[in-house]
Amino acid sequence: MTNRAWWWKFWEKLISSILFYTSIPLPYVYGLDFREVAQLAPLVGLMIGGILGLLDAAMNYLGITLLTRSALVVSVWIAITGGLHLDGAMDTADGLAVGDPQRRLEVMTDSATGAYGAMAAIAIILLKTVALTDIEENRWLVMMAACGWGRWGQQLAIARYPYLKPTGKGAFHKQAIRSYKDTLPGIILLFSLSALGWLLNSKQLLFALAMMLTGSAIATLTGAWFNHKLGGHTGDTYGAVVEWTEALFLCIMTAL
């Protein structure tokens, strides 16, 4: 494959990933293949975090207070993703609330949101908003890292654990992420982001290392926890991994 052909294939895959994972309006491109979108999920996450960082910087320039900025950022965060991952987190919470393990997947496929799903959504939104309010410096960097690690956690769950349905909205991801090797570009990208933060401020080596360790640990443990509860993953739990990794990562970052 020539360099030009490789770049064209990469851009097609990137456009497919943006269209799949976000509600960002892009011009229609005929013949896009969505089967490998999970391979670029962490990159899309960094793009989402970058947009949120720019929005936050613009609001700060206008003099909008920290709490209001944080609430608006989280609202736009949901809007950019179209609620895709939050919906998965809500369905997962409803399923885990069922005492009978055999009925959990059935409940998760129900489009109606139950009480536990609503509570999970409220908890995630509150945690993100409050945590962002407590983070006054490096907000753009933290938001990019949160979005990136959440989607790397999704990749790891795809590679590591079985998919629980023969078909479903997340089944084709197993063909795109077949082994741990397919998660390496994402983790290299996220480590590079932390290194960039350190280069911009040489006094923040500890902060950069903490972002690497915290992000990778939370992303790994979140996927492992859902696998422990369900015996595998579905498209809904992939979304739940993203949302809970983002929220918990922000919470830990408040201590740093």
Q: Looking at residue 4, what is its pLDDT?
A: 62
Mean pLDDT of 13-26: 89
With a cut of 70, say whether residue 95 has pLDDT above it: yes
Residue type, 164: L
Q: How confident is the model at residue 144 (pLDDT cuts 50, 70, 90)?
A: very high
For residue 168, give the DSSP letter.
Answer: S
Q: What is residue 110's three-state secondary structure?
A: coil
Q: What is the pLDDT of residue 109?
A: 77
**From CA 200, how far away is CA 193, in angstroms rounded?**
11
Query: Which value, in Å, is the radius of gyration of the alpha carbons in the chain?
Result: 18
CB–CB of 249/241 below 8 Å?
no
67: tokens are 């709490």
More confident residue, 169 or 209: 209
Mean pLDDT for 126-136 is 96
In angstroms, rounded to a whole number, what is the distance separating the alpha carbons of residues 143 and 197?
12
* pLDDT value, residue 10: 82
- Chain-centroid distance of CA 105 in Å reads 22
Phi, psi (5° rounding) for residue 251?
-65, -45
Can you give the pLDDT at residue 6? Answer: 66
DSSP character at residue 28: -
Delimit the domains of the chain by residue range: 40-253
Q: Which tokens belong to 240? A: 């739940």
Nearest residue to 161 via CA among 103, 231, 236, 95: 231
φ and ψ of 17, to 5 deg:
-65, -40
- Beta-carbon contacts of residue 192 (< 8 Å; ≥ 6 apart): none
Q: Which two tokens stand for residue 14?
A: 């990137």
The mean pLDDT value of the chain amounts to 89
Token representation of residue 87: 């919906």
Nearest to 241 by CA among 218, 216, 214, 223: 223
Q: How confident is the model at residue 1 (pLDDT cuts 50, 70, 90)?
A: low
Cα–Cα nearest to 234, from 74, 65, 108, 64: 108
| pLDDT tens profile 110-128 | 777 788 999 999 999 999 9
The percent of residues in the chain predicted with pLDDT above 70, rounded, is 95
What is the Cα–Cα distance from 87 to 66, expressed in whole angstroms?
A: 27
The residues with which 163 forms a beta bridge, in sequence order, are 233
Q: Which neighbouring-strand residues pair with 233? A: 163
Residue 32 identity (one-letter amino acid): L
| Poorest-pLDDT segment among 64-73, 111-120, 217-226, 244-253 | 111-120
- Reported confidence tier of residue 31, pLDDT bands at 50, 70, 90: confident
**41-93 residue pLDDT tens:** 999 999 999 999 999 999 999 999 999 999 999 999 999 999 999 999 999 99
Residues 164 and 195 sit within 8 Å (Cβ to Cβ): no
d(CA 194, CA 181): 21
